[in-house]
Structure 1
Amino acid sequence: MAKKSIGPVRREFVPWENSDHPPFIEFRNVTKKFGEFVAVRNLSLKIYEKEFFALLGGSGCGKTTLMRMLAGFETPTSGQIFLDGQDLAGIPPYRRPSNMMFQSYALFPHMNVEKNIAFGLKQDSMPAQDIEARVSEMLRLTKLEQFAQRKPHQLSGGQRQRVALARSLAKRPKVLLLDEPLGALDRKLREETQFELMNLQEELEMTFLIVTHDQEEAMTVADRIAVMDKGELVQVATPAEIYEAPNSKFVADFIGDVNLIEAKVTEKSDAGTRLVSVVDGFVIDSEQETEAGLGETVWYAIRPEKVRIAQGRREEGQVNQIDGLVWDIAYLGDVSCIHSKVGEDDHDTIRATFANISRMVENPITWDDEVVLSFDRDAGVILKG
């Protein structure tokens, strides 16, 4: 029986849960070397039709190289890449059923918006009447009708980004490749454009593949995310699974904020696992089972929003409670983040975040307060490394 995804998915159709469903894009044992440097290492990945898929990772992790190999701008050292069942080996970029939108947008400065969008269609010798209809459709989809006669220098950054998007979509590729497409936009405009991209992808029912280093962007737009590190896939899953059930300390630390508590396994049973923190010796009772053996060191990963904080000290004999001393406070408007010192070392801190629901708070927690931090049995994840 197929595994059900953790958290919400934007579509009822989730082909990655069906092993019999053929992939639309497939990387098979792909390796790419630049001299002695291995940019992508023996990587295999399946992406499905109509999926909005994100490649996420830090600089140098191999995500852009992977996309460039799919686009045809780089050639794999070994392995195969398939698109809609076709082996792409030897097919030049301009003959591949894909289009790539670059971070720089690369618009023609001497052409207006309409002509920029029509350029690729004219290169393909499409009839003039069809070009006019397609350009009109792209202008409508990207909400650029009123800017059709303007040149790139007369547009805002967000408008130029939409022109580049319209030009990339005009040829109706089987897959649209987006290389850090929103990096040049300010935060508010970037957030608005993320939702525009999602709506556009759903309306066109097209496969989108985005490369980004922005975790929030990947979590917002993608159906699934592939987290990469040093040319390898670390975890491929839905945004909720990546966040709530990371498969390693690296993923837990890379995605969002997290408390990583070093601990040792002291008890194991069908009901879960009991740990003792290396710092302060507090007891963690988790409903999760672990492959780690008794006495083995593990990491307990818990997100700050799952940690409760209150003034006072922990009750004797209680589990999942930690004594702390408020070390720092960050007021972020919608939420507050409190760092509490739980050990002798200044780095031994645990973060707790909570929503600022009311405008006025009586007896707020402040610096140097003694506090008790607590959490539920299902709040965190036990990771081996």
Structure 2
Amino acid sequence: MAKTLGPVKRKFSPWDDPAEKPFIEFQNVTKRFGDFTAVENLSLKIYEKEFFSLLGPSGCGKTTLMRMLAGFEDPTEGSILLQGKDISGTPPYKRPTNMMFQSYALFPHMTVEKNIAFGLEQDNLPKADIKARVDEMLALVKLETFAKRKPAQLSGGQRQRVALARSLAKRPKVLLLDEPLGALDRKLREETQFELMDIQTTLGLTFLIVTHDQEEAMTVSDRIAVMDRGEIVQVATPAEIYEAPNTRYVADFIGDINLVEGKLAAIETKGESEFCSVVCEGGMKAVVEQSTACPAAPGADVTFAIRPEKVRISTEEPADKTANALYGEVWDIAYLGDFSVFIVRMDNGQTFRAAQANAARLVDRPITFGDMVWLTWPPEAALVLTR
């Protein structure tokens, strides 16, 4: 089995071990609502203590998949296994899972501590045990001083943490999070993402999160499943999803990327690498270095792909203009604080994006609107995609 490419968040990659058994497994699961198929013959393995994301646009089936795991929906076909046991047909309250909803669903008339204690009281736990568990959860989410307040007296971020504490209080084996940070502003959302990661690591639980936010999935996940129209397109670590997408859809959905249609002209082997020569629309030519076998044969239709941050932009003419060099005019600039994106227009009307980190605090940039610039990139920075 191929080992994980790129960095992982921690020394944790059970999916690379053939002997490791999945904690959660979807086996050929299909879910239909009348004539509409929300999930189509989907198989997926999730491992214990993994922070796993289901990522995709609205309507791709990710929430349906989570609801089937929670027990709120039953599969039309296929099986769902938890620790090797089929849980299809098991009611939600008998499953060792808990779900945190996007709306938080807090009881407005109850205090923070009462909200957290609610599920424990329903299970008839001793009062002393309930108090100890509530105190533990309040400390975990850093809300000890807010125990007597009601939800209306809290900020959005504090309500989110109360909902998280209530979901964790029953110590589920799997915590399901349905767009849990969608109601928070950007800065608070980023802070909460790291809090979620710390809590998940501290408790050693399996977290499954549904999100359409690419940055959120890239930040919190050990692995990501990118979904489209009820199917999983790719399952991989954040680094693999970004650096080695397996389709044009994944490449375009995650981050920003230049995609140019073309034909594979030739393949040359040098050492352990294959160099793919691509002739693109508009006459552009590019050479791509592949560490694995080129995915197509000469003459095949392919897509040339490269991330903007891997494209160098300069007003100086490169020494070698024969490979991976374009010349054009700066047509637009997006200043995003930590980096700037330059949209460069070629003579044939084609546009290309290059991103440059704003490493220095400059008032006047050396490259601006209307400048004629050269774009270059090394062969190993690009990809050849066939679908």
TM-score by length of 1: 0.96
Contact in 2 for aligned 1:326/1:338 (Cα 8 Å): yes
* 2:286 equivalent in structure 1: 284
Say yes or no: does 1:190 pair with 2:194: no
Contact in 2 for aligned 1:266/1:275 (Cα 8 Å): yes
* 1:378 equivalent in structure 2: 380
CA distance in structure 1 between the aligned counterparts of 2:278 and 2:319, rounded to whole angstroms: 17
CA distance in structure 2 between the aligned counterparts of 1:189 and 1:363, rounded to whole angstroms: 31
Change (3 A) 1:32 1:382: same
CA distance in structure 2 between the aligned counterparts of 1:149 and 1:251, rounded to whole angstroms: 46
* 2:156 equivalent in structure 1: 157
Paired letter, 2:359: I
CA distance in structure 2 between the aligned counterparts of 1:34 and 1:294, rounded to whole angstroms: 44
CA distance in structure 2 between the aligned counterparts of 1:65 and 1:166, rounded to whole angstroms: 24
Change (3 A) 1:312 1:10: closer
| Aligned residue among 325, 329, 335 for 1:325 | 329
Paired letter, 2:43: S
* 2:100 equivalent in structure 1: 101
* 2:243 equivalent in structure 1: 244
Contact in 1 for aligned 2:111/2:151 (Cα 8 Å): yes
* 1:90 equivalent in structure 2: 89
Q: 1:269: how far off?
A: 2.4
Paired letter, 1:269: E
Paired letter, 1:322: L
* 2:341 equivalent in structure 1: 337
CA distance in structure 1 between the aligned counterparts of 2:278 and 2:85, rounded to whole angstroms: 53
Contact in 2 for aligned 1:314/1:372 (Cα 8 Å): yes
CA distance in structure 2 between the aligned counterparts of 1:141 and 1:233, rounded to whole angstroms: 34
Moved more, 36-45 or 290-299: 290-299
* 2:115 equivalent in structure 1: 116
Paired letter, 1:311: T
SS at match of 2:119: helix
SS at match of 2:79: strand
* 2:361 equivalent in structure 1: 359
TM-score by length of 2: 0.96
CA distance in structure 2 between the aligned counterparts of 1:146 and 1:336, rounded to whole angstroms: 43
CA distance in structure 1 between the aligned counterparts of 2:281 and 2:267, rounded to whole angstroms: 21
Paired letter, 2:303: W
Moved more, 266-275 or 131-140: 266-275
Q: Deviations over 1:84-141 (max 9, x none)?
A: 1221122101111000000000000110000000000000011111101000000000
Q: Deviations over 1:212-262 (max 9, x none)?
A: 000000000000000000000000000000000000000000000000122
* 1:218 equivalent in structure 2: 217
CA distance in structure 2 between the aligned counterparts of 1:163 and 1:274, rounded to whole angstroms: 53
CA distance in structure 2 between the aligned counterparts of 1:277 and 1:327, rounded to whole angstroms: 24
Change (3 A) 1:316 1:100: closer
Say yes or no: does 1:297 pair with 2:301: yes
- Corresponding pairs, count: 382
* 1:78 equivalent in structure 2: 77
SS at match of 2:381: coil
Paired letter, 2:351: T
Paired letter, 2:240: E
Change (3 A) 1:72 1:204: same
Identity %: 65
Paired letter, 1:326: V
Paired letter, 2:367: I
Contact in 2 for aligned 1:265/1:297 (Cα 8 Å): yes
Q: 1:326: how far off?
A: 0.8
SS at match of 1:190: helix
Paired letter, 1:371: V
CA distance in structure 1 between the aligned counterparts of 2:175 and 2:347, rounded to whole angstroms: 50
CA distance in structure 1 between the aligned counterparts of 2:278 and 2:95, rounded to whole angstroms: 55
| Aligned residue among 349, 352, 358 for 2:351 | 349
Contact in 1 for aligned 2:55/2:217 (Cα 8 Å): yes
SS at match of 2:209: strand
* 1:259 equivalent in structure 2: 258
CA distance in structure 1 between the aligned counterparts of 2:319 and 2:329, rounded to whole angstroms: 16
* 1:273 equivalent in structure 2: 275
SS at match of 1:146: helix
CA distance in structure 1 between the aligned counterparts of 2:9 and 2:365, rounded to whole angstroms: 42
Paired letter, 2:385: L
Contact in 1 for aligned 2:265/2:279 (Cα 8 Å): no
CA distance in structure 2 between the aligned counterparts of 1:343 and 1:25, rounded to whole angstroms: 53
CA distance in structure 1 between the aligned counterparts of 2:49 and 2:249, rounded to whole angstroms: 29
* Residues 194-205 of structure 1: pairs in structure 2 closer than 5 A: 194-205=193-204
Contact in 2 for aligned 1:314/1:323 (Cα 8 Å): no
Say yes or no: does 1:307 pair with 2:306: no
Contact in 2 for aligned 1:274/1:283 (Cα 8 Å): no
Contact in 1 for aligned 2:330/2:368 (Cα 8 Å): yes
